[in-house]
C-alpha cells in the first residue's frame, strides 16, 4: 500500500473543481467558476501579433526560457506595473505559472509544518489549499465591507508563535467581492509595522474596476511601500488576458525573490515561453489597455444584470454586496442556513454556485454562497438567478 506524506494526505479536492464537470453540462447555468467570458478573449488580435513576429521570436516561443522569465516580458511587465505606481526598480520581478504558483512558492519559502498563517475569512480557496499543503495552521480573520477586521487582526498578530505571514486580497476580493478602503489599508499597515510579519498582497482583479472614482482605493500596498513590512505583491494575466496562458508574477524584496526562484527551479524550471512571448507582444502593442477597458465595461454590464435579477427574485432576508469590480457577489443567508441544501435544489433546477464553507479556513461556516457573473450573458443570468432564488425560499422559507 502506498505510504503517502502527511502533507498530501491532508489535501482535499476543491469543491469548485468538482463543480466544473457539472457546469459543463448544457442544461446547467453555472455561476460557480471565476472564469473570464470565452467570448471576450482577444483571439484575433493575438493571432495577428504572433503572425507578424520574426522567425527568431517565434522559435524562442517554443524554447525553454530563464527560470525568472523571458527578459523581454520582464521589461514590458515592469512598465505595465510601474503605471500602477509599483516599485519595480527596488524589488525583483519573477514570472510564474499563474499567480497561484506565486502564492505557492511564497508558501513553500515561509511555512514549516504547524506554522501559523493569517488569512481572511472567507479566503481564496487556491491559497487555502496551498497553505494547507504545507501543513500551515490557518488563522482566519473576518472581513467586513471595508476589509479585514483590524481589532481581530491586532489580537492575532500578538499571539506567539508569530504568524509567518498575512495573506490578503484587497481588490475585489475572491470570494467576498469587497474593495478595501484606504482607511482600512492604513490601519492594516499600522498594525503590522515592526512585527516581522510579511504581507502577501494578491491582486488578480484590481484592473477590473467599474467606477473611476475608486482609483484611490486601488493603489496597492506595495505601491505605498511602507517601511518595516515586507510586501510580496502577486498578480496574473488570467483575468486581464486569459487563464490559458498560465502566467502570473510576483514583485518581492531581493532576499525573498532569491528563495522563490530556487524553489521554482525545482518546480517547473520555467513558465511557458510561448505564452510569455504572446503576453509581451500584447503589452508592447498597447492592445492590453483598450482590451482591459472593454472587458471592464462588459463585466460591469453582467454584474448589473445579476444585481437586478437578485433584487427581483431574492427574499428580503438575503444580503449581498453590490460589486464595484471583479467577478463575484457574496450572498449571506439567515444564520444556521446550510447552503449545501440550497445547492442541491438549484442543481435540480439547472443552476450551480459555490457554497460558503469552501472559502472558510475551518471549512465550517455555510450560510453564505458565491455567485460569479463573469462567464454568463445577461440573458443567462436572468434565467439562472430565479432558479437559485427559488431554492433559497424552499430551504429558508
User: Which three cell numbers, joined as nine digits, stand for 283?
Assistant: 503589452
| Total residue count of the chain as it appears in this document | 397
Per-residue pLDDT at 1 exceeds 80:
no
In the chain, the number of structural domains is 2
Tell me the sheet residues that pair with 118.
Answer: 139, 166
In a domain, 48, yes or no: no
pLDDT, tens only, 75-119 = 999 999 999 999 999 999 999 999 999 999 999 999 999 999 999
Per-residue pLDDT at 22 exceeds 80:
no
- CB 38: neighbour CB atoms within 10 A? 9
240 and 323 co-located in one domain? no
Single residue among 261, 284, 307 that ends a domain in this structure: 284
Is the pTM here over 0.75, yes or no? yes
> The domain that contains 60 carries what CATH number?
3.40.640.10
363 and 226 co-located in one domain? no
Residue pair 127/168 in contact (Cβ under 8 Å)? The answer is no
User: Which three cell numbers, joined as nine digits, stand for 289?
Assistant: 489597455
108 and 241 co-located in one domain? yes
232 and 343 co-located in one domain? no
235 and 321 co-located in one domain? no
Q: 79: which DSSP letter? A: H
Looking at residue 9, its pLDDT comes to 64
CA–CA dist 343, 345 (Å, integer):
5
Which band of pLDDT confidence, cut at 50, 70 and 90, is reported for residue 21?
low
> The domain that contains 376 carries what CATH number?
3.90.1150.10
225 and 136 co-located in one domain? yes
Single residue among 284, 312, 340 that ends a domain in this structure: 284
261 and 388 co-located in one domain? no
36 and 171 co-located in one domain? no
Map residue 46 onto helix, strand or coil. Answer: helix
Whole-number CA gyration radius for the chain: 21
In a domain, 392, yes or no: yes
Average pLDDT in the 293-322 region?
97
Surface-to-core class of residue 55, CB atoms within 10 Å of its CB (0-12 exposed, 13-18 middle, 19+ buried): exposed
Surface-to-core class of residue 334, CB atoms within 10 Å of its CB (0-12 exposed, 13-18 middle, 19+ buried): middle
pLDDT, tens only, 240-258 = 999 999 999 999 999 999 9
Per-residue pLDDT at 309 exceeds 80:
yes
Q: 162: which DSSP letter? A: P
314 and 230 co-located in one domain? no
Average pLDDT of the chain to the nearest whole number: 94
Single residue among 284, 315, 350 that ends a domain in this structure: 284
pLDDT, tens only, 152-206 = 999 999 999 999 999 999 999 999 999 999 999 999 999 999 999 999 999 999 9
10 and 158 co-located in one domain? no
210 and 346 co-located in one domain? no
Residues of the chain above pLDDT 70, percent: 96
Strand 199-202 to strand 166-168: parallel, antiparallel, or no bridges (unpaired)?
Answer: parallel
For residue 299, what are the domain limits? 6-42+290-396
Per-residue pLDDT at 14 exceeds 90:
no
Looking at residue 10, its pLDDT comes to 62
In a domain, 1, yes or no: no
In a domain, 49, yes or no: no
273 and 155 co-located in one domain? yes
CA–CA dist 327, 228 (Å, integer):
33
Amino acid at each position: 500500500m502506498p505510504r503517502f506524506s502527511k502533507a498530501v494526505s491532508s489535501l482535499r479536492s476543491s469543491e469548485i473543481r468538482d463543480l466544473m464537470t457539472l457546469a459543463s453540462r448544457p442544461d446547467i447555468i453555472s455561476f460557480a467558476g471565476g472564469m473570464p467570458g470565452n467570448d471576450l478573449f482577444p483571439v484575433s488580435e493575438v493571432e495577428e501579433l504572433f503572425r507578424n513576429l520574426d522567425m527568431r521570436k517565434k522559435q524562442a516561443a517554443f524554447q525553454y526560457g530563464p527560470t525568472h522569465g523571458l527578459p523581454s516580458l520582464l521589461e514590458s511587465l515592469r512598465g505595465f506595473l510601474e503605471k500602477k505606481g509599483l516599485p519595480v526598480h527596488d524589488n525583483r520581478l519573477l514570472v510564474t505559472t499563474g499567480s497561484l504558483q506565486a502564492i505557492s512558492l511564497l508558501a513553500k519559502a515561509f511555512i514549516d509544518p504547524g506554522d501559523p498563517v493569517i488569512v481572511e475569512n472567507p479566503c481564496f480557496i487556491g491559497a487555502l489549499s496551498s497553505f494547507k499543503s504545507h501543513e500551515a495552521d490557518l488563522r482566519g480573520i473576518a472581513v467586513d465591507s471595508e476589509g479585514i477586521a483590524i481589532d481581530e487582526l491586532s489580537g492575532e498578530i500578538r499571539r506567539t508563535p508569530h504568524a509567518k505571514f498575512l495573506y490578503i486580497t484587497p481588490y475585489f476580493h475572491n470570494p467576498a467581492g469587497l474593495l478595501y478602503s484606504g482607511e482600512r489599508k492604513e490601519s492594516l499597515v499600522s498594525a503590522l509595522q515592526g512585527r516581522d510579519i510579511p504581507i502577501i498582497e494578491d491582486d488578480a482583479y484590481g484592473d477590473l474596476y467599474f467606477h473611476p472614482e475608486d482609483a484611490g482605493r486601488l493603489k496597492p500596498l506595495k505601491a505605498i511601500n511602507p517601511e518595516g513590512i515586507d510586501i510580496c505583491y502577486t498578480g496574473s494575466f488570467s483575468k486581464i488576458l486569459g487563464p490559458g496562458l498560465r502566467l502570473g508574477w510576483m514583485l518581492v524584496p531581493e532576499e525573498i525573490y532569491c528563495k522563490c526562484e530556487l524553489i521554482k527551479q525545482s518546480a517547473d524550471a520555467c513558465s511557458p515561453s510561448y505564452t510569455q512571448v504572446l503576453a509581451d507582444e500584447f503589452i508592447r502593442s498597447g492592445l492590453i489597455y483598450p482590451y482591459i477597458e472593454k472587458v471592464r465595461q462588459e463585466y460591469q454590464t453582467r454584474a448589473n444584470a445579476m444585481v437586478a435579477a437578485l433584487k427581483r427574485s431574492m427574499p428580503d432576508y438575503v444580503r449581498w454586496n453590490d460589486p464595484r469590480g471583479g467577478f463575484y457577489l457574496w450572498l449571506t443567508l439567515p444564520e444556521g442556513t446550510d447552503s449545501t441544501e440550497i445547492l442541491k435544489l438549484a442543481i435540480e433546477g439547472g443552476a450551480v454556485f459555490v457554497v460558503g464553507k469552501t472559502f472558510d479556513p475551518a471549512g465550517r461556516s455555510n450560510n453564505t454562497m458565491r455567485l460569479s457573473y463573469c462567464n454568463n450573458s445577461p440573458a443567462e443570468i436572468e434565467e439562472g438567478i430565479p432558479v437559485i432564488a427559488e431554492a433559497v425560499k424552499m430551504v429558508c422559507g
